[in-house]
Structure formats: C-alpha cells, structure tokens
Amino acid sequence: MVKKFRAMAKPLIIFICITFIGGALYIGGMSFFGGKNDAYAAVATVNGEPITLYDLLNALNQELYYYQMYYGELDFSTLETIRYYVYDNLVNNSLITQALAQRKYKIAEDDIKAEMTRFKELYGQELLDQSGVTDAQIREYVTVQLQFDKLVEDVTSQVVVSEQEIIDYYEAVRASHILVRVDSDDQEAWDQAKAEAEKILAQLDTMDFAEAAMTYSDDSSAVNGGDLGFIYRGQTVEPFEQAAFSLAVGEVSDLVKTQYGYHIIKVTDKKVAEGEEFESAKESIREQLLKQKQNQVFNTWLAEQRSQAEVVILDKQLAAYEYLVNGNYDKAIETYQKAIDEDPENGYLYALLGQVYAQQEQLEPALTAYEQAVKYIQNDAQIYFILGSLYQELGQQQEAISAYLRVSELRSYDLVTQYLVRSRLTELNAGEDAIAVVDKRIADISKLYEDAAQSSTSDAATAEMDSQGETE
C-alpha cells in the first residue's frame, strides 16, 4: 500500500480529528471569518459538490493545532494564508473523493480487518473509546484509505527508477572553490572579474588552493579554504555541477562562469557508485526515488483533474485571497470591499484589504483600512505595528508613536518586539517618556530571563550536591 500519500486525504479523517482536537476554532473563530455565516453553507463547490464552512473550519482547526504547537503565536496574515492552503487542499481532496466514487474499488474483508487492527494499535483503544470513535467509523475510514491506496497505485503504475538515476543520486564530489563575485549586469564588471579570476588561477601553480581561497574568494566558504563539502547532483547551478563532476580528485578547473561570477573549482574527494557500500544502499535509494517520482506523477494527475474541474468559490474572503495569490490586485480589492459590505464589523477584512493596498504601495487607502481594522480589533499587535509603520511612512509622528506603544503593550512579554519598538521610537524622536516605558519592559523581561537562569543553575547545583551526598 502507498501510505505516503495518505496525508493528502485529510478531510477523510476529519471525524477522528474533531473528536481528538475539539471544535475550539469553530466556536471561537467566527470573529475572523464573520459571525453571520451558516456553518453548513457552501464556501465553494467542486463539480457541484459543496465544501462547507464547517468542513473548512474543522480542517483549519487541525492545521492551526499543529502550527501553534510548533511555531507558537500566529498573526492574521499567516492565518489567512493557512486558511487558503486548507481550502486548496479541500478542493484537491474533493477531487480525490469523486475519483474514488467513480472507480468503485473493492477492498477485501481481510485487508479491512488488518487495517482496522493497525489503526487501533496506532491510536490506542482506550483513547478511541474515550473519544467516542466507533468501529463503524474506523471501518469506513480505513476502507476509504485502502481505496485511496489503489487509486495512487493505478495513477503511478508506470513509474520506474532506472539504474542511472540511482547512480546519479548516490554519486557526489567534495569540492572547494574560489569565487570572484559579480553583482552587476554591466559587461565591464564581468570583464574585470574574469581578468581577476585568471590572475588567481595563474597563481595556483605556486600557491596552495585553500590559502588562495582564504585570500581571494568572495564566498562565505573562504574561511574554510573554499571547502563546500560533498555536493550531490541537483544541489547547485548546472555549470558548476558539470565542471565539478567532470574533474578527477585533486584536479583544478579552468574558469567556470555562473550567475554569481567566476569560479575556480578543485575536487578533493569523490563518492562513486561502486563497491559494497553502494550495493547495500541501492534498494533504499531506489525506494526513496520511487516515492519522489510517484508523488510527482500523482500531483501532476491531480493538477490535470483540477484543470478540468468546475471549481466555484462562493466565500468572498477566499475569492479575494485567490485573486491576491494570482496577482490580480484590483479584483482582490473589489472582492474584499464586497466582503466588508456584507460583514462591516469584521476587522480582519479591513486588515486584509489594507494588506493588498500596502503591497501596491497605496499607502493612504492602506492606512484608512487599518484604521478601520483597529476599531474592531484592539488586541492584534501585528495590525498595530503595520498601522504604526504606515503612520511613520506618511509623516504622522504622534499617531505612529501611539501605535508602536500599543504594540509594546500587547507584546509586553516579547523581548524582540520591545527592541524593535524601541528602535522605531528612536527613529521618530519619540521623547524620553515614551522610550522609558519600553526600556522598563525590556528591563523587566531581561530580569525574568536572569532569574530563570539563576534558578536553573541553582537547581543544577543542588542536584549535584544531592548526588554527591548519596554517593558518600
């Protein structure tokens, strides 16, 4: 079975995640999405099949759960990006579900039972019982997953991995280089760089390559004598790759021109596709490459299905963001305005509208939009920071200072934010009183860090003493 594709079928496991994670976003998230929507109203249709607001919010709940677990707090613009990403995946999953319905795969009873057993082992029967997940639900879920595996197998049945692909994946060269960088399109600059590189190349007859790299190279690798470590095919630009892989160990290249400038390359080691090490790695490489190619083929197939599908976005906020993603700023602005007309107290819609204006460097309408946003949202530091930046850009000093101080207040726990706000206040010549407020917060946060560090040191010392006492 092709389990690697299962992540693409998230909506198929919503009933599990609802139970495990809960509906917190659905209950509390209406402030962002507007509070007048019917939960089961369609936000989009795919070949006539609806994607409901309920579907969207539950899938979003899952994404945000993991995002906040790994990255912490998120701002409104990131939330909108994730929301659109979730919508996009729901469209793809609708297409997959429709394909499964058309193909009507039959799954053997033994396979279903075996997969149900694996599922219960994965989640634990106790957790499933506490969550109210029934055997019937599990059976439905694993059946769909097994059908999905068959779909993937059908779509990718022609995918093969050649021996040469395995060799290319395995082989590598360890290379050092000297770079004469060119940061201009001017031909004279390129001519001068070439002349300089030729002089360096001539010196290599009598000068150690690593020493020359440390002396002349315009690359960060210069501190390591130009050493780049092992390079695999596809990791660097084509002219560099071709030159490096054509050299024998110890050989130095002629000048190699790339978009970065002129390189002189020396190969110091090679990893060749032969011997016991290569033979033992072949199957693992073959499997990895097969997965990559299958994924590519399946995604291509899915993109083709989508290009032929009738996808209609009914939610104006989603539609506006899609216009933004595709660079149609005028339509994005028009659609956000329509969304605001329908939900005039949704502050995030004003912020999103302001974001579009700001990207177009239309600062005054952007400012107007953000000013409207903070009428309805008083606790979003990002919105106030953008508002402060717009005030500052437009020369409204006192308004900018007030906005930045609000950011400092809202992020009173965040040292990075406090230093950033202090920098902006200094630029604005905000005065001692305003800066003193931020300086106090910086001092308070720093003291908390110091106290925590001392406490940790003290605890470690106590533990060490206890350990010594036990030994004695």
* DSSP assignment of 54-108: HHHHHHHHHHHHHHHHHH----HHHHHHHHHHHHHHHHHHHHHHHHHHHH-----
What pLDDT score was predicted for residue 200? 96
**Could you state, in chain order, the average pLDDT of each consecutive group of 10 residues for the chain (472 residues)?**
34 31 33 58 95 92 87 85 94 95 95 95 89 91 94 95 94 96 93 96 95 96 96 94 96 96 97 92 94 95 96 95 94 96 94 95 96 94 95 96 96 93 95 94 92 71 58 52
What pLDDT score was predicted for residue 73? 78
What pLDDT score was predicted for residue 70? 86
Separation between Cα atoms, residue 211 and residue 412, nearest integer Å: 50
| Domain 316-377 superfamily per CATH | Tetratricopeptide repeat domain (1.25.40.10)
Report DSSP state, residue 428.
T
Single-letter amino acid, residue 192: Q
What pLDDT score was predicted for residue 35? 47
Instruction: Give yes or no for a contact between 99 and 309, defined as CB atoms under 8 angstroms apart.
Output: no
Instruction: Give yes or no for a contact between 42 and 87, defined as CB atoms under 8 angstroms apart.
Output: no
CA neighbor of 399 nearest in space, from 382, 380, 386: 386
What's the token pair of residue 139?
């059976």
Domain residue ranges in the chain: 3-155, 172-271, 316-377, 395-472
3-state secondary structure at position 36: coil
What pLDDT score was predicted for residue 387? 96
Pick one of 3.30.70.2740, 1.10.3720.10, 3.10.450.50, 3.10.50.40 as the CATH number of 172-271.
3.10.50.40
Report DSSP state, residue 229.
E
Helix, strand, coil tally for the chain in percent (to 5): 70, 10, 20
| Model confidence, pTM | 0.73
Helix axes 275-308, 163-170, angle to 10 degrees: 110
Neighbours of 434 (CB within 10 A): 20
